[in-house]
Structure 1
Amino acid sequence: MRNFIFKVILFSILIVVSFLYLYSKRSNPLVDNFTTHNNNYEIINLGNSHGANIKYRDNKGKRFQRAGNTLYYDLQNYKYLQEHLVDNAMVIIPVSYFSFGLDENRTDYIDPNAFVNYYYMFLPSSSIYNYSFKKNIQVYLNKVKENYHSVIDERFFLVEKKVNDSLSLEEKLEHHAKMRSETHKIMAEYSDPEKNVIYLSALIEDIIKNGHQPVLLTMPYADHYNSKFSETWLDEHYYQYMNKIIDTYQVPYLNYSVDKRISTNDSLFSNSDHLNDKGRIYFSDILFEDLRKIQVLNQ
């Protein structure tokens, strides 16, 4: 009997250890970005994948963007990070054409609420929209499952990546712009824009209250992408809300969406709405120089 109990206990311990190992085996670089940081950032940026276009040259600045991110979670991420910023730190808030149409947990995804799983890994429950303890357990178990499969796949399978090189860069950007713009228009019209105005307003108010400097930003896009959005559509789904925020809070706003130094140069883009490494360096030099010109960046 004792031998049986000992084996059961040993088996249980092995299961727990295996779960803990698999849970921690694959660190999530996005989560690590938020949970591993210093206490003296002078400048950060939030936003979605477009926020990755900013390239910092030293450890005083850092990107805290996430692909497809919502303004609701920009607000929550700032609350999470605010104690790690120096006095008068700058917080850059990139806002994309589709940002005002997103709902909090991105239920426009194929798998409803899959987007929010990421935030269960580090945000407090009070910051997670429609938090559920049951879902929290599911997220934990899913991560163990994903880690298990990633370990197996890494050991026994070789995945080949095929790239279509038959198209010219201009053709690739034009093709990408057509598909991406259609998707982004759907995203921009998916949910109530007024609540996102409220979230962005709350974010700016928090930043100002904490003695930090907010800066609104529209990222550079290739002309291929911009040409798919009419002025009427942009005014209705984007600029009317941006202008409302700017007029209310009188915050600095820099718009590079159609900056000809960038938007007409296909070689700066990895696709129609994201810069490549060369483009990020070129754009960031322009951005930081402009921040100095409007006297919100000292050096």
Structure 2
Amino acid sequence: MSVNGNTQPGLLVLTAVDNGRLGSVEGDYRVVFATAGGSTAGGSLEPFDRTELEQIEAIITNGGRGLSGAEMQAMPRLRFIQVLGSGTDKLDIDAAAGRGIVVASGVGSNAPSVADHAIGMALAILRDIPRFHIEASEGTWTPSQRPTLSGKVCGILGLGAVGEAIARRLIGFDARIAYHNRRAAPGSPYAYCGSPAELAAEADVLFVCCPGGAATYHLVDTGVLNALGSAGFLVNVGRGTVVDSDALAAALMKGAIAGAAIDVFEGEPLLPDVLRTAPNLVVTPHVAGLTSDALDAAWARARANLRAFRDHGEIVGRLV
């Protein structure tokens, strides 16, 4: 634990932070790190006594760490929470709203990085690049015809910042784009489908980009995968809980879909057992948004929002 100064509002940093990331914020706030030097990936409140926590007015956390309602209760002066990245699954938003605490996320700050990764994963599974790499490295030469991404119908489940970024990239592949949200996006140039199954039935490639939580739990189930069909591909860069792992494994084993590429999965960091032996599956370890560019953008958002909170300005990415 380290403390800078003693006169400014207290800012508690619960996520890892490199030198210089906070910039001028360190002059505006009394910055408290969860461990010495701020080098923590999931900071605990245990090192702090009650008096220290009572002085905290703002917090920086991340999607993996979040913040519980009980932890908020220990900080009676807490008025602002900034989440790096877009994930809020582990943040008790209802508790924050009940306290009148402003919550903002970094939603959209990593959208370019996630979208790039999604396109890369789509190409990897459609063109079977991982298998061809292994075979070529081993001196095996068994090329086979594979589908191309160009000209395909691409469905986007969750047309938010990431979904929009994926759609813009797909235009360069001459793709026809459809999407499903809880409601149609006003002014969107893309075709709206009324349900995930309807979207899957239209799509050659289904990109899953929606957030986690109860509302999207197992949104992609057996019915959606069957609608995608034996020539269809699934790409998940949203949240692992959106896709039913058992249903996905069964669909891959039976050939109900042609293949899947997932950057997120249930039970992270351990891949579900049912998927370990599933064929036609490409997996990456939740790294779609893990780029230096995305991190720069997330911290820039955090710095700007902390200044805006101090000065009663506009908070970008405000959730409550």
TM-score clears 0.5: no
Specify which structure has the bigger relative contact order, considering alpha-carbon pairs within 8 angstroms and separated by 6 or more residues.
1
Question: Normalising to structure 2: TM-score of the pair?
Answer: 0.32
Structure with higher helix content: 1
Q: TM-score scaled by structure 1? A: 0.34
More strand by share: 2
